[in-house]
Each structure stands twice: as structure tokens, then as C-alpha cells.
Amino acid sequence: MASRATDDGPDGVEFVQEPDGRVTATDRRTGVASFGETRVEALRMLADALESHEAAEAYPDDEVPESDAPWL
């Protein structure tokens, strides 16, 4: 069973200790989440995910270049 470390505020990070031992970190404002073997690693991975999320939000939907990936 997972355990949570949380408060009632709208900002901040929520940590969940997963049954497999990993830690999930979720940014409350954006809903972006990542995980790691420790809280520190989960937080570092969340920082990277948030940077990517914010970079993606900088492009309006009509300005995102179409992918040429063969699987799409």
C-alpha cells in the first residue's frame, strides 16, 4: 500500500512511497509527476519534468511542429 506525505495547500509537492519502494513526486499546481528511488531523486526528476512541461506550454497548439516520427 502506498503512503502519502501531503498538506492541504494548492502549491507544493506531494510525495507517495510506492509499494515497490520508489517515491513518486507530484507538483500540485500542474499535476506533473515523476519518480525516483529516493525523495531527492524523485524531486530532481520532477524538476526536469516541470522544465519540459513549461517549455511545451510556451508553444501555442497551432505552432507546434508536426512530428515526422515513423510511428505517428
**b/e map of 34-44 (b: 16 or more CB within 10 Å)?**
bbbeeeeebee
24 lies in some domain? yes
47 lies in some domain? no
**Rounded mean pLDDT, 29-54:** 95
The whole-model pTM stands at 0.70
* pLDDT level of residue 56 (50, 70, 90 thresholds): confident
Predicted local distance difference test score (pLDDT) of residue 70:
84
Predicted local distance difference test score (pLDDT) of residue 32:
96
Query: How many domains does one find in the chain?
Result: 1
16 lies in some domain? yes
Q: What distance in Å separates the CA atoms of residue 35 and residue 49, rounded to the nearest whole number?
A: 10
- With beta carbons less than 8 A apart as the criterion, state whether 51 and 65 touch: no
